[in-house]
Chains A and B, each alone.
Chain A
Amino acid sequence: MSTDAAPSKPPWTLILFLVGLGDWSLFSLRAVTGVFSRHLKLRELLRVCVDVGANSFGVIAITGLFIGMVLAVQAYSQFHLIGLDTSLGAVIHMSVIRELGPVLTAIMLSGRVGTAMAAQLGTMKVTEQIDALACLGVDPVRYLVSPRFLGCVLMIPLLTVLADGMGVIGSTIICVEVFGIDSYHYWRHTANFVTLWDLFIGLGKSVIFGGIVGLISCHRGFQSGAGAEGVGRAATEGFVMSFIAILIIDFVLDMLTSALGVILFAQGSGNVA
């Protein structure tokens, strides 16, 4: 009987993943350092900010409003059974400000802006415009990606505040106006449980999500394959990768901020008065 073990195959999937991650990291480093270089054009940054911020205003407002209302409807039936109707404000507002506001805003940003960025840069790649930039002495990553990255980072906290605000308004309309919960106690519980720390955590997460969406989407655009199919695939990959990254990073940040809350305030981060 032979004792020779069969030669093991290299873990290609893992190797390709690590190579891709390394490539994205170098790309991201270049884009982030480009924010501080002379290549950053204010005009381009303003254009991106308008596209990311002002043009996303409506869809983010509607998303935030309806998420708040849906949460209120779903939670009311449960809380009403145990007589905790007035605690609904604290629970819903905490969920919206710490979790749903930042995450849903980032996902909407990824769907609306990230896919457009990936498709636009992918088209520029297949039509050799990115090569033309390099030939004209300009670093394409710093010229094209840095303003998009910065635009996402600057605009997403504002959009998140909008989503939070609309979520709070939506849930309040349902709880107070539709279900008739006493507004004094509704707001009193909210004030007791939802703090500036929660808002800070939510906005901090949104900044990270915005940067991640910008960098992943732009990287997929730069890696786009040839033709319409390649550009379409780049846009889809940009969205899917951003979506997964947002969920994973959200989980990691939640773990970290919960621990940090305990350390800073010697109690659960959700109960900091």
Chain B
Amino acid sequence: MTASEPIIRLQNVTVRFDRQTVLEGISLDVLPNQTLVLIGESGCGKSVTLKLIVGLLKPTAGEVLFEGKPLHLMNERELTTMRLRVGFLFQQSALFDSLTVFDNVAFGPRAKGGFTEDSIRQIVRERLQDVGLPLTVETKMPVELSGGMRKRVGLARALALTPDVMLYDEPTTGLDPIMTDVINELILQTRAKRPVTSLVVTHEMRTVQKVADRVVMLYPHARLTPGDPQILYDGPRDGLTDHPDARVRQFVRGEALDRIVELRGDFAEGDHR
């Protein structure tokens, strides 16, 4: 694979749950070592996109490729190998309740095998230090941690196997502004330490401004005019603020729909198309 070939590719992907269409005809390339931030309103399919990439969900139509190989053609072993190269920070951290922080972070290396307990201990300590947690948290249970600490343990767990691709599902949701910045810094640090391709799903424009090389904005399928593309924007972070599409500006500025209509009349004139 050359540097210009995408490490992840979504080709004409459609996802439906029962009668509800979440994604329709999405095509997206993620290049190696790029940090792509996926933004959009709640329910537009951002988290679904991340789950498609690791094969937790299967597309209704279209295909997802990892390093050029379609996921649906991978056997169980290949899918596992692929997943071990991808770190996933879940929205609610998804720490295993019954395991200590140490065992949570050590889970990946233990599951993969080939590590001694000493080397696993070394990995866990390094990752906890990387995310700025004291070693005293090792013995704590997830319920004893604050939201920010849980996110950081989740990040340490995702990084334990030094993944080539990191997927962040709303990494700063529910955190205070300072902790939000801490997590953003950790995303930057992760990339600075070693080459890693990152896909970040977020609502937070501060995260977009801080970490994004490229921004993709999805629009909820249910509110699209038939025939319109679901990807409203695909480009650098600087091009968002004054984008000609009112829907993009509305999201970036966090303005309510009624206010847009009242102040600009954009939607009434239909210039958002």
Tell me whether B80 and A127 are in contact (CB under 8 A): no
Interface of A is mostly: helix
The answer to whether the Cβ of B90 comes within 8 Å of any Cβ in the partner chain is: yes
| Cβ proximity bits A120-162 to B, threshold 8 Å, 1 near / 0 not | 0001100111011111111100000000000000000000000
Q: How far apart are B58's CB and chain A's nearest CB, in angstroms? A: 13
- State whether A129 and B91 are in contact (beta carbons under 8 Å apart), knowing that A134-B83, A135-B83 are contacts in the complex: no
Stretch of B106-114, B183-191, B224-232 contacting A (4+ beta carbons < 8 Å) = B106-114
- State whether A129 and B97 are in contact (beta carbons under 8 Å apart), knowing that A135-B56, A137-B108 are contacts in the complex: yes
Tell me whether A137 and B83 are in contact (CB under 8 A): yes
Tell me whether B86 and A135 are in contact (CB under 8 A): yes
Q: How far apart are B54's CB and chain A's nearest CB, in angstroms? A: 6
Tell me whether B96 and A132 are in contact (CB under 8 A): yes
Q: How far apart are A171's CB and chain B's nearest CB, in angstroms? A: 41
- State whether A132 and B94 are in contact (beta carbons under 8 Å apart), knowing that A137-B108, A137-B112 are contacts in the complex: yes
User: In residues 11-68 of chain A, which contact B (Cβ within 8 Å)?
Assistant: none
Return chain A residues, CB-CB under 8 Å to B96.
129, 132-133
Return chain B residues, CB-CB under 8 Å to A135.
54, 56, 83, 86, 88
Return chain A residues, CB-CB under 8 Å to B90.
128, 131-132
The answer to whether the Cβ of B36 comes within 8 Å of any Cβ in the partner chain is: no
Return chain A residues, CB-CB under 8 Å to B54.
134-135
Identify which of A124, A127, A129, A136 gathers the most chain B CB atoms within 10 Å of its CB.
A136
Tell me whether A131 and B84 are in contact (CB under 8 A): no
Return chain A residues, CB-CB under 8 Å to B80.
137
Q: How far apart are A260's CB and chain B's nearest CB, in angstroms? A: 39
Tell me whether B92 and A127 are in contact (CB under 8 A): yes
Return chain A residues, CB-CB under 8 Å to B91.
128
| Interface size, B (range) | 20 to 34
Return chain B residues, CB-CB under 8 Å to A134.
54-56, 83
| Interface size, A (range) | 10 to 19
The answer to whether the Cβ of B249 comes within 8 Å of any Cβ in the partner chain is: no
Return chain A residues, CB-CB under 8 Å to B108.
136-137
Q: How far apart are B116's CB and chain A's nearest CB, in angstroms? A: 17
Return chain A residues, CB-CB under 8 Å to B83.
134-137
Return chain B residues, CB-CB under 8 Å to A123.
97
Q: How far apart are B119's CB and chain A's nearest CB, in angstroms? A: 17
Interchain CA distance A132-B51 in the complex, whole Å: 11
Tell me whether A137 and B56 are in contact (CB under 8 A): no
Q: How far apart are B181's CB and chain A's nearest CB, in angstroms? A: 24
Interchain CA distance A9-B92 in the complex, whole Å: 43
Q: How far apart are B34's CB and chain A's nearest CB, in angstroms? A: 21
Q: How far apart are A133's CB and chain B's nearest CB, in angstroms? A: 8
Interchain CA distance A133-B83 in the complex, whole Å: 10
User: Residue of A at shortest CB range from B109?
Assistant: A136
Interchain CA distance A20-B157 in the complex, whole Å: 35
Interchain CA distance A87-B72 in the complex, whole Å: 66
Q: How far apart are A58's CB and chain B's nearest CB, in angstroms? A: 24
User: In residues 95-125 of chain B, which contact A (Cβ within 8 Å)?
Assistant: 95-97, 107-108, 111-112
| Cβ proximity bits B38-62 to A, threshold 8 Å, 1 near / 0 not | 0000000000000100111000000
**A-B residue pairs in contact (CB < 8 Å), sample of 27:** A123-B97, A124-B97, A127-B94, A127-B97, A128-B92, A129-B95, A129-B97, A131-B51, A131-B56, A131-B90, A131-B94, A132-B88, A132-B90, A134-B54, A134-B56, A135-B54, A135-B83, A135-B88, A136-B83, A136-B111, A136-B157, A137-B80, A137-B81, A137-B84, A137-B111, A137-B112, A139-B76
B contacts, CB < 8 Å to A = 51, 54-56, 76, 80-81, 83-84, 86, 88, 90-92, 94-97, 107-108, 111-112, 157
A contacts, CB < 8 Å to B = 123-124, 127-129, 131-139
Q: Which 9 A-B pairs have the closest CB atoms?
A: A132-B94, A128-B94, A135-B88, A137-B84, A128-B90, A137-B80, A136-B108, A138-B111, A129-B94
Beyond A136-B84, A136-B157, list 11 extra A-B contacts (CB 8 Å).
Answer: A123-B97, A127-B94, A128-B94, A131-B56, A131-B90, A132-B95, A134-B83, A135-B86, A135-B88, A136-B111, A137-B83
